[in-house]
Amino acid sequence: MKKYYITTAIDYANSKPHIGHAYEKVFADIIARYKRLCGYEVYFCTGTDEHSLNVAEKAKQLNKDPKTFCDEMALNFKELCRIYNITNTDFIQTTEERHKKSVEEVFNRIHKTGDIYKGHYEGWYCKSCENFYNQKELLEGNLCPVHKIKVDLIKEENYFLKASKYTDTLLKYINDNVDFIQPETRKNEIVSLLKQGFKDISVSRAGLDWGIKLPIDNTQTVYVWFDALINYISAVGFTTENEKFNKWWPADAHIIGKDIIKFHCIIWPIMLMSAGIKLPKKVFAHGFLLNKGEKMSKTRGNIVDPVNLVNVFGADAIRYYFAAAVVSGQDGEFSEESIILRYNNDLANDFGNLVSRTLNMVEKYFQNIIPEHYRELFDEKMSSLVNQINNLYSVYSKKMENFEFSGAIENIWSIIKIANKFIEDEAPWNLNKNNKLKELANVIYILLEVIRVSSLAVQPVMPETSKKIWQMLNLDYETDKFDIEKELKFGLIKSGHKIDKSRILFPRIVDEKK
């Protein structure tokens, strides 16, 4: 069986999840579900980054042990995965023993190559992103360029990784492996950073109690980013389960935010090169969800509660909005008003209306039995719609493989819209009135196939909706035993098959703010 290993970035455990966390997990889940439809065995990992300074400070404020606090916070992220129907295989916490062993082994390997040395560090440090900055990178007033908060001047003796030694090697790797960093804009940023000359990086901090102790010096703690990045290999058994690790690594895709590309596209590959471990196949950096043009973040206090959104709209509606309204790799504006507009127009009016009208006609004209179809009687509009169905996979699969979800949905919705117009043009009520039963059967059969095929293609995005439609069509699909290329073809739903009654998929929402 083909296999696919996908990860999200792991999330800081210092506060509850926000909508950006949900977006990234849904993004990765859409890929994971699509790959399963294509016959892949998927390992999908997410988790929490627990050794940050923020975590220790927050636990102290609450008079809690940091580990206890982290376990409590991890439950919030696990619950986020549950309510958004995220199908992750694994949830890793960086305080786990399996992770600690992997971190120590990676550090020891790098140390043995001679790529670790002790030196003095002085620079600006942001607690929120756990990142060091030079003066040129800061905003006016010594503010972090990401979080726009004051940074601290750090002076201490640390251990360093000889990152500069690998700059040319990494540049060559990026040029030779054109899909390694996506989208292209992010790749260009990384290439520019490397060409400027990437300096050696600190991989430890002095005087911290919370974190993994350096194997060669217990007065130092492993720098949190060095620690956190290793989760991608510790999750699949690096040093702890060799057979599992050999099966799943290298990862097929790391899904991350665009603000952490330096860590994932420079530091992480250099760490792996030094340790003699294969690099991941692809790093895809998505954009931000914006609230009135600003990135949503805990620091700025403009976050949207992802749990409340699901309570109001349902998980599928939010998943659909993420996929349809936000172009992959770009920033996207996010508001309840825009969700309502998409929900009513795309889901209630287009898709929901098509399903409801069609299934009601099957009940009215054929007693819930799928009729025969007569291809010799297909008119031009019927043949055109059938061709649209048969051509769906070629465009849809390319879009999905490239993580272009909005393009894939646009392709599906073009067929749904054509099908709705097809009902008006063919007027099945008149065909029934005029006793043109074969023509009526053709119209109904084609519409049922549009619904079946659309429900399959949209399953990675809206799994609950697809399942409801399959139940109405009385179809028993197992998405882990599937060949979507074969299924996205016209003529597979069987005549004589009894279906269930129609149920409303998307009740219209009234925007009370208007």
pLDDT at position 271, please?
99
Domain 338-498 has CATH 3.50.30.40: no
Question: What's the start-to-end Cα distance of the chain, in Å?
Answer: 52
Could you say which DSSP state residue 267 is in?
Answer: I
C-alpha to C-alpha distance for 508 and 487, rounded to whole angstroms: 31
C-alpha to C-alpha distance for 109 and 165, rounded to whole angstroms: 16
Q: Quick check: is 45 catalytic?
A: no
The number of C-alpha atoms within 13 Å of 431 and in the hemisphere containing its C-beta is: 17
- Active-site residue, selected from the candidate residues 18, 99, 100, 264: 18
Q: Quick check: is 18 catalytic?
A: yes
Residues written for the chain: 514
C-alpha to C-alpha distance for 471 and 58, rounded to whole angstroms: 47
pLDDT at position 297, please?
66
What is the average pLDDT across 478-505?
A: 90
Strands 289-291 and 283-286: unpaired
The candidate with the shortest Cα–Cα distance to 128, out of 232, 224, 266, 24, is 224
Rounded percentage of the chain residues whose pLDDT exceeds 70: 98
Task: Give the pLDDT band of residue 513 (cuts 50, 70, 90).
Answer: low
Q: Quick check: is 70 catalytic?
A: no
C-alpha to C-alpha distance for 208 and 219, rounded to whole angstroms: 8
Phi then psi dihedrals of residue 461, to 5 deg: -90, -45
Max avg pLDDT among 246-255, 291-300, 304-313? 246-255
Q: Quick check: is 295 catalytic?
A: yes
Q: Quick check: is 51 catalytic?
A: no
Give the helix ranges, DSSP H, for 129-208: 167-176, 184-195
pLDDT at position 127, please?
74
Position 299 pLDDT exceeds 70: no
CA 412, 185, 268, 132 dihedral sign is negative
pLDDT in tens, 353-402: 999 999 999 999 999 999 999 999 999 999 999 999 999 999 999 999 99
Position 476 pLDDT exceeds 80: yes
Position 153 pLDDT exceeds 90: no
Helix, coil or strand: residue 434: coil
pLDDT in tens, 29-85: 999 999 999 999 999 999 999 999 889 999 999 999 999 999 999 999 999 999 999
Indicate the range of 249-263, 281-295, 405-419 predicted with least confidence.
Answer: 281-295
Position 103 pLDDT exceeds 80: yes
SS3 content of the chain, % helix, strand, coil (to 5): 50, 15, 35
Task: Give the pLDDT band of residue 403 (cuts 50, 70, 90).
Answer: very high
- Active-site residue, selected from the candidate residues 162, 213, 298, 468: 298
C-alpha to C-alpha distance for 355 and 384, rounded to whole angstroms: 20
pLDDT at position 482, please?
75
Which pair of structure tokens corresponds to residue 29? 């889940």
Q: Quick check: is 38 catalytic?
A: no
Which amino acid, one-letter code, is at 269? P
DSSP string across 378-391? --HHHHHHHHHHHH
Q: Where are the domains of the chain?
A: 3-286, 338-498
C-alpha to C-alpha distance for 228 and 90, rounded to whole angstroms: 16
Q: Quick check: is 144 catalytic?
A: yes
pLDDT at position 324, please?
97
Position 139 pLDDT exceeds 90: no
The CATH number that domain 3-286 falls under is 3.40.50.620
pLDDT in tens, 195-208: 999 999 999 999 88
- Active-site residue, selected from the candidate residues 99, 286, 295, 399: 295
- Active-site residue, selected from the candidate residues 45, 70, 144, 265: 144
* Angle CA 369–371–376, to nearest 5: 175
Which pair of structure tokens corresponds to residue 133? 């900055």
CA 13, 22, 28, 131 dihedral sign is negative
pLDDT in tens, 7-19: 999 999 988 999 9
- Active-site residue, selected from the candidate residues 100, 129, 187, 373: 129
Chain-centre distance of CA 137, in angstroms? Answer: 29
C-alpha to C-alpha distance for 11 and 262, rounded to whole angstroms: 17
C-alpha to C-alpha distance for 267 and 283, rounded to whole angstroms: 13
Longest dimension (CA), the chain: 89
Torsion angle (degrees, nearest 10) of CA 50, 83, 85, 5: 0
Contact 202, 121 (CB under 8 A): yes
Task: Give the pLDDT band of residue 480 (cuts 50, 70, 90).
Answer: low
C-alpha to C-alpha distance for 133 and 202, rounded to whole angstroms: 12
Which pair of structure tokens corresponds to residue 235? 């999750």
- Active-site residue, selected from the candidate residues 25, 51, 100, 147: 147
Helix, coil or strand: residue 420: helix
pLDDT in tens, 255-266: 999 999 999 999
Mean pLDDT of the chain: 94
pLDDT at position 427, please?
97
Task: Give the pLDDT band of residue 439 (cuts 50, 70, 90).
Answer: very high
pLDDT at position 15, please?
86
Of the two residues 100 and 150, the one the predictor is more confident about is: 100
Of the two residues 186 and 152, the one the predictor is more confident about is: 186
- Active-site residue, selected from the candidate residues 126, 127, 264, 286: 126
Contact 420, 451 (CB under 8 A): no
Contact 284, 253 (CB under 8 A): yes
pLDDT at position 329, please?
95
pLDDT at position 53, please?
87
What is the average pLDDT across 180-194?
A: 98
